[in-house]
């Protein structure tokens, strides 16, 4: 909670990428918990390896697509 809460205090629109080399470290349950935690705090995310549409979706910041390579 403290990481998400800390990010929210900056009062900027927040989108994060969960597509990285550690997202599978705690298996499917870890991915599901990460998604649930971000959803519960209203943090948008992309890069979900279990969702083909989300996995390739750009981050949207103030309506501007940002693609991570």
Alpha-carbon distance of 61 to 49, in angstroms, equals 21
Residue 61 has pLDDT above 80, yes or no: no
Structure confidence by residue, pLDDT tens digits, 1-57: 667 666 667 666 667 888 888 989 999 999 999 999 888 888 888 888 888 888 877
Question: Phi then psi for 21, rounded to 5 degrees?
Answer: -75, -5
Q: What is the pTM (predicted TM-score) of this model?
A: 0.70
- Cβ–Cβ < 8 Å for 64, 35: no
Query: What size, in residues, is the chain?
Result: 69
Residue 58 has pLDDT above 90, yes or no: no
């Amino acid at each position: 909670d403290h990481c998400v809460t800390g990010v929210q205090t900056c009062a900027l629109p927040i989108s994060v990428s969960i597509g990285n080399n550690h997202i599978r470290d705690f298996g499917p349950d870890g991915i599901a918990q990460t998604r649930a935690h971000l959803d519960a705090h209203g943090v948008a995310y992309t890069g979900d390896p279990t969702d083909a549409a989300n996995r390739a979706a750009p981050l949207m910041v103030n309506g501007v697509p940002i693609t991570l390579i």
